[in-house]
Chain A
Amino acid sequence: MTEGFVTAVNGNMVSVSTDGVVTMNEVAYIEAGNKSLKSEVIRIRGNSVQVQVYEMTKGIRVGDSVRFTNDLLSVELGPGLLGQIYDGLQNPLPEIAEKVGYFLEPGLYLKALSRDTTWHFTPLAKEDDLLQRGMAVGWVPELHFKHIIMLPFDFYGEWSVTKILPEGDYTIDDVIAEVSDAKGNKRQVRMWFSWPVKRAVDCYSERLKPADPLVTKTRIIDTFFPVAKGGTYCIPGPFGAGKTVLQQVTSRHAEVDIVLIAACGERAGEVVETLKEFPQIIDPKTGRALMERTVIICNTSSMPVAAREASVYTAVTIAEYYRQMGLDVLLLADSTSRWAQAMREMSGRLEEIPGEEAFPAYLESVIAAFYERAGIVRLYDGKTGSVTIGGTVSPAGGNFEEPVTQATLKVVGAFHGLSRERSDARKYPSIHPLDSWSKYDGIMPQQAVHYAHTFLEHGAEVGAMMKVVGEEGTSLEDYVVYLKSEFLDAVYLQQNSFDPVDAAVSPSRQKHVFELVLKILASHITFKDKEDARNFFYELRQTMLDLNGTPEDSDMFVSLYKKVKEALMERKPEFEDRGLKAIKALE
C-alpha cells in the first residue's frame, strides 16, 4: 500500500509527498492526531499529490502520515438502502447521531449497509448458468420491492456459477454464490458490492430514447412542460421562488418506483421536514410510508464542502443501481449550483486559470456528464429501467445568464424557470409559462397544449399594453383574451400544494379538466362591456377553483363541472375552429 506524508495545507486542499504508485481520484486517509480524515486525490505532479479533504482540515500538521487505499471513492450497493438517510459519503446519519450525539464527528465513518440484518434470499441462477455483470443471481424482499441480487458490476467478462446457496436467510456479508470464468479464475459473490461513484453504471444492452412521460401530478409540468422517464430537467430560480417546495411536492407525488433526494449544500431545515414527515405520509399507490421508496443523501450547506460534490454522485450511483433492477428512479438534486460552487472553491485552491465568474473551465463538461447519467435503458433480460434527473439551480441574483444555469440548459430536456414576479404574486408553482420549455412529449397532445399556450402569449402582450394605455384604452376583444389567459393561469397553471386534493392531480383528471378549460378558451361570447366579461370570467374562476379542491369521485365534482359548462353554454358561445380541433385532439 502506498504511503506518504503531508507537506502543505491550504483550506480543504492538502499536498502530500509520496514515492509510491497513486491513482487519480483514489481515496486517501490523513492520520491527523487520533483521527483518519477521508480525502480524494485530485492532482498528481511528480511526487507531489494534491488531495481534497472531506472534512474540516483543522489540526492537520505537516509531516502527518497519509495512507492511500487504491480504491476510488465508492458506495456500497445492496439491500438496505431504501429509507436510509446518508451524508454525501454514504455515512448513515441516524447511526452517527446514535454514536456521537448532536454534532457530526470528523473522521467517523460507518458502514452504509447493516452487516447484521438478515435477508431472505431466493436464488434465481442455477449452477453452470453463464452470467454477465449486472445479471440476476437471486433476490431478496426489501420492503415492498423485489430487490435483485446482481453479479457485481465490476465482474467483467462471462462467469459460470459453480455454487449457489439455497433459499434461506443470510446477511449481506455471506457468500451466496461462487463463480468462475473460462480461464479458471474464481470469485465469490455476496449480496453487496461497491462501485466507484464517478463511473456511470453501464451494464445494459442499449440506451433508449426517453418517450413515456413521468407523471409528477403537477398540472403545469405534466400538461405544459412535461418530463420523460429517463429524461432530465432543471429548475432555476431566485431565492424564495419555491424551488425546494416544488421538489418536495414532486418527491411526494411523482409516479416512479424510487426517489433519491440529494440535498446538496442547501438548508438543513428543509431536509429535516422531509425526513421527519416522509415516514408518516402514506403513499396511496403502495399503501406504505413514502420513506420506504426514498433514499436521502444529505450534505447541507454547513457540512464539509468537498463532500458536497461527492453527494450528487453518491445519489446518482444508487439511482443507477435500482435502475438495474428494472425500476423507474427519480433523482432530485437541490441544488446543483452549490455543487458547482464546491468545484469552484477547489479549482481556486489548485490555482487553475478561472473561467467565467471564477468557475473552472471544465464546469460545462462536468455538468453535462452528470446529467448524461440519466436515461432509460434496456437491460440484458429485456426489461427497461430508468433514471430521471431533476436538478435545481440557484443563479446568483436570479440572473439566468450565469454559467451554471447556461451550462445546465445546454444538456437538459426540460427547463422549468421559476420567476420572482410570479412567486411575489403568490402564483405557485412559480414556473414561468412563457420562459419555460420542454422537449419531451407529455400526457396531452401537442396541438391542444400549443393552442392553450397561445392565449398565455397573447394575454401577456395585452397585459403589458394595458399597463401603458390602461383598461380604457384596450379593445374589448383584446381584453377578453387577457381575461382568458388570466383564467387559464389561475385555474390550471397555479396549484395549491397545501390542499390535499389540489396538491396531486392524476393525468385522467388533468385531461378532464383541461378539456373544459379549452372549451372556455375556444368560446366566442358577445359581452356587453368589459365589466360584463370580467364578471363572467371571475365567476367561472371561482367555480373552477372550488372544483380543483373537490375529489374527482364525488358528486360535488360532477355538479361543479356541470355548473361551469352550463354557465358557459348559457352565453350561447360560438367555438373557434382551432379550438375545436384542439379539443378533438384530446379525445
Chain B
Amino acid sequence: MGAEKKPEKFVVSIGPQHPALKEPGHFEFAVEGEIVTSATARLGFVHRGMEKGTESRTWVQNLYLMERVCGICSAVHAMAYAQGVEKLAKVEVPPRARAIRQLIAELERIHSHLLWLGVAAHEGGFDTLFMLSWRDRETVMDLLEAITGNRVNYSANVLGGVKIDIDEVKSAAILKGMDFLEERTRHYMKVVTEDETFLGRTRKIGTMTLEQALRLGSVGPTGRASGVPYDVRVDAPYAAYQDFPVNIVTDTAGDLEARFVVRIKELYESYRVIRELVDHMPAGELTTRIPRRIQEGEVVSRVEAPRGELFYFLKSNGTDMPERIKVRTPSLCNWGSILATAVGHRLADMPMILAGIDPCFSCNDRMILVKRGNDQTVWTWEDLRRYGIEYYK
C-alpha cells in the first residue's frame, strides 16, 4: 500500500494539556505503526501580552515584569533588559556589579541545566536519574536563595547594577556547593554516556546535522551539539565575560546524546568560571545612578540564556516608559529543529526529542498581526485584551 493511497492517516494528537511536559503546546504526529511520518506544532496557549504590557510601565517597573518572562531563566531576562537600558542611557556599570551579574547568571545556568537533565531523563523513563539530579539541583537552588533571598525570580539586578553582594561566608558556601555539584555532574556524565538502556534512547536519535542546524537557526546547546560554534558569552562578551571568559562547548554528533554531553560539559565550564569569579571578585561599588527618563534611541541587547541566545530590542522615545520592547527567546529559534528531526523516529522518541531542545513554552508565545496594504490601525491595550478573550474562548 503506497503512502499516497492512504488519505486516512492515524494522527496522534497531543496537547495542549499533554503528558510530556508541564507546559501547554499542541502537537500532531501522523504515525504508521510507531513511526512518525509528519509532525506539526501549534503554540500560543500561554501568550501573556508582556511586550505590550511594557509600554504602559516605567523603565524600572519593566525590570520586574521582564524577570517574569521565564520562570527558569529569570535572571538572564532581567540582565538582558538592564544591560539594554544601561546602553541606551549610556551608563557604565561598576565591575563588581558586572561580576555578580555573571555569577548569578552562571548559577542559574547550573540550575537550569540540572533541571533539564532531570526532565529529559524523565521523558526517557529514567526516573531515578530524574529524582537524583533534582535532589542535587537543590544545592544550587539553596545557594541562589542564600545569595538573593529567592529561589525563582532572584531579582538580583537593578538598572545600573545589582542589589546583592557576595561576602566571605557566601563565597565559601558557593565554593563548597560547586565542589559537590562537580563531583555529582561527573557521575551523571558517566551515566548518560555509558548506561546502555539510556544510550538506546539517546544515541542517533533526533540527529540534526550542522547544515540543518544553520538553516533552521538553532541556538544554544541545541545548536552547539550539532557543531554550531556560537555562544554569545564568547562571541559578544557582556557582563564580566571579558575578564572571566568561558570556553565554548561544541559537539559534532548532533543527536540527543550530544545534547546531553554539551549541556553537562557546559556545567563543568560554569563550575570553573564561578570558582574564578568568587576567587577574584573585583572590589568596588554595586550600582551607579541611572536617569529616570531614558534618552531617545534604539538598542539591541543579547545574552546567552541557558537555552541559547536571548535577544532584546529596546526603543525609547525619551520618556520614562519604553516605546517598544521586543523579546526573542531561544526556544522559538529551536522549534523548527524538532519538527525537522521528528519525522522517521518512533512515537516513543517524541517526548525526548521534544525535551531535547529544553523548550520553554510560555516565554516564546507571541502575537503577530500582519498588516496588509495601507492599514494604519493601531491596536490599543483594550483591543488586545478583547482579542485575547475571544481567542481563548
Q: Do A and B bind each other?
A: no
Which residue numbers of B lie inside 8 Å of A, CB to CB? Answer: none
Which residue numbers of A lie inside 8 Å of B, CB to CB? Answer: none
